[in-house]
Amino acid sequence: MAHNHSNNRSDNKAEQEDLRKKLKKINDNIYEVPREGAMKIPGRIFVNEKLLKEIDTETIKQVMNAATLPGVLGYSIAMPDMHRGYGFSIGGVVASDAENGMISPGGVGFDINCGVRFLVTALRKEEVEKKINELLNEIYKLVPCGVGEGGEKISKEDLDEVMKKGAEWCVEKGYGYEEDLKHCESNGTIPGAKPEYVSPTARKRGVGQLGSLGAGNHFMEIQVVNKIFNKEIAQVFGIKEEGQICVMIHCGSRGLGHQVCSDYIREMQKADPVTFENLPDKDLVYAKTNSELAKQYICAMNSAANFAFANRHMIMVQIRKAFNKVFGVSEKDIKLVYDICHNMAKLEEHNIDGKMRKVYVHRKGATRSFPPGHPELPEEYQKTGQPIMIPGSMGTASYVLVGTEDAMKQSFGSTAHGAGRLMSRHEANQRFRGEQIKKELEVQKIYVKAASWKGVSEEAPKAYKDVDEVVKVSDAAGIGNLVVRVVPLGVVKG
């Protein structure tokens, strides 16, 4: 029986070389994957030479596979943090015609509307550093983290309302403020959510999890503004000076979203078993956009997305409380800058070959990057463009970027979503020890509070790509421009 199975099926050097040779360099930050075989469109990957070396060929094959699906338009795109996913690559952006295209749960990902919420405070590093452990303990107490830790117990009727209204439900119930809503992608409520298309099993998984962080790569981070690249835009985002304290929340729709994805993968498989068996990769399974099943999935996906908005909103409310308790600051003074989705499919209008077309843009581990003047953005950000948050790995910097016109032209208004994994969790676990990482981070004055040591070692900074390089490519390619770099002071992990 095979024991020496390689981590990476495409480690085959010759094959790797072959595929790499096919790539056509467009410029220092963009490579094209030419059309071949069943590909309907070419691929485009946003990487520089350094990042390209780290990409396994399986990921490039996934970009090519996505290009074979019905109704795909423009390019099958992958972001600088691309890595191997199932079916579609992580960091993948695929747009499909709204009428004659497809929608794929695998192109969205299991964690529907996994995303990032970013808050700014008026506090300074010096004040917060003194009480950082007290703050982390307070947050840890207020926000359920890790395995077996549920969230707000809500009724079945309330769960329906959460799925319909998202963050708006929270504000209606007295959690947070009206102005929080316009600082969320889609105002914190995706329209067209129909909870009746969410299965009883998915509901069962979601009902006890609202306002909980979960485990894995999800985190809450207390951050310090470390460098401002664009003062004018930073100012509009509420970031005034280096040393200012910010908060980043990274999580999604928990078990509810995972189950919605899984349910519809199976439904789509059952609906068309012949197409399913012939897919180059089973997790590419899709439904044609004009089918009843596609409509049902979209309604269910939007419901899960709203659950995720509400989830991040409830976590934010608890973090505000923790800041109020430890530092006496008013909860209202902890301002929500923006909340973005990075696992989502959305109906948008894009200019494709000179024609405005309605498309479903699948962003799986990619962030929307809308330019100044876009009607989807709130008044405050009309002149700047959309705030984009790119979290780094634990212990490394994170970035705030801004959306651009170039992203609309090149990447269906999208950019990267994070650092991107380099090493499997299993390997990270064998190579690093959680306690040791915590100690090393403390030397750098980064404090970690985690539900488990294994959770820390799996998320070891060295298990990820260099986030600095990822945002460098985004900025240089013009698909998301640098505004601010923040560095961690305290991390709470599941």
Chosen residue from 205, 342, 363, 449 binding another protein by CB under 8 A: 205
Q: What is the CA radius of gyration of the chain?
A: 21
421 is a site residue for another protein (CB under 8 A) = yes
Smallest gap from Cβ 473 to another protein, in A, equals 19
265 is a site residue for another protein (CB under 8 A) = yes
Smallest gap from Cβ 136 to another protein, in A, equals 17
Smallest gap from Cβ 286 to another protein, in A, equals 13
Environment class of 240 (CB within 10 Å of its CB; exposed 0-12, middle 13-18, buried 19+):
middle
107 is a site residue for another protein (CB under 8 A) = no
Gap between the Cα atoms of 260 and 244, Å rounded: 39
Q: CB-wise, 122 or 422, nearer to another protein?
A: 422
CA terminus-to-terminus distance, the chain: 36
Other C-beta atoms closer than 10 Å to the C-beta of 422 total 15
38 is a site residue for another protein (CB under 8 A) = no
Quick note: the x/- pattern for another protein over 430-469, rule CB under 8 A, is ---------------------xxxxx--x-----------
Q: CB-wise, 8 or 382, nearer to another protein?
A: 8
425 is a site residue for another protein (CB under 8 A) = yes
Q: What backbone torsions phi and psi does residue 229 show, to the nearest 5 degrees?
A: -90, -35
Quick note: the x/- pattern for another protein over 67-96, rule CB under 8 A, is ----------------xxxxx--x------
Instruction: With contacts defined by CB under 8 A, name the span among 127-135, 170-178, 268-276, 435-443 that binds another protein.
Output: 268-276
Amino acid code (one letter) for 116: V
Amino acid code (one letter) for 444: Q
Q: CB-wise, 204 or 383, nearer to another protein?
A: 204
The two tokens of residue 104 are 């794929």
DSSP 478: T
268 is a site residue for another protein (CB under 8 A) = no
Instruction: With contacts defined by CB under 8 A, name the span among 92-100, 254-262, 325-333, 338-346 that binds another protein.
Output: 254-262
Q: Please report, for residues 67, 283, 294, 484, the alpha-carbon distance to residue 273 in angstroms, rounded to integers and kept in the order given.
A: 21, 13, 16, 48
* Active-site annotation, residues: 417
Gap between the Cα atoms of 222 and 414, Å rounded: 26
Chosen residue from 16, 137, 226, 262 binding another protein by CB under 8 A: 262
Indicate the SS3 state at residue 246.
Answer: strand
Chosen residue from 273, 290, 382, 468 binding another protein by CB under 8 A: 273
CB-CB contact of 377 with 464 (8 Å): no
Q: CB-wise, 253 or 386, nearer to another protein?
A: 253
Chosen residue from 156, 204, 231, 332 binding another protein by CB under 8 A: 204
Instruction: With contacts defined by CB under 8 A, name the span among 14-22, 24-32, 119-127, 416-424 that binds another protein.
Output: 416-424
Smallest gap from Cβ 247 to another protein, in A, equals 23
Gap between the Cα atoms of 55 and 418, Å rounded: 15
- Nearest CA-CA partner of 482 in 120, 230, 198: 230
Smallest gap from Cβ 458 to another protein, in A, equals 7
Instruction: With contacts defined by CB under 8 A, name the span among 30-38, 241-249, 326-334, 425-433 that binds another protein.
Output: 425-433
Q: CB-wise, 9 or 231, nearer to another protein?
A: 9
CB-CB contact of 80 with 399 (8 Å): no
Q: Please report, for residues 192, 272, 280, the alpha-carbon distance to residue 408 in angstroms, rounded to integers and kept in the order given.
A: 24, 34, 29
Q: Please report, for residues 1, 114, 214, 305, 341, the alpha-carbon distance to residue 312 in angstroms, rounded to integers and kept in the order given.
A: 46, 10, 11, 11, 11
2 is a site residue for another protein (CB under 8 A) = yes
Q: Return the sign of the alpha-carbon dihedral for residues 288, 292, 297, 298.
A: positive
Amino acid code (one letter) for 440: E
- Parallel, antiparallel, or unpaired for β 481-493 and 447-450? parallel
Q: How many residues bind another protein (CB under 8 A)?
A: 55
Q: Please report, for residues 71, 265, 405, the alpha-carbon distance to residue 439 in angstroms, rounded to integers and kept in the order given.
A: 51, 42, 43
Q: CB-wise, 5 or 21, nearer to another protein?
A: 5
* Site residues (vs another protein, CB under 8 A): 1-3, 5, 7-9, 56, 83-87, 90, 110-111, 146-148, 201, 204-205, 208-209, 214-216, 255, 258-259, 261-262, 265-266, 269-270, 273, 281-283, 285, 421-427, 451-455, 458, 494
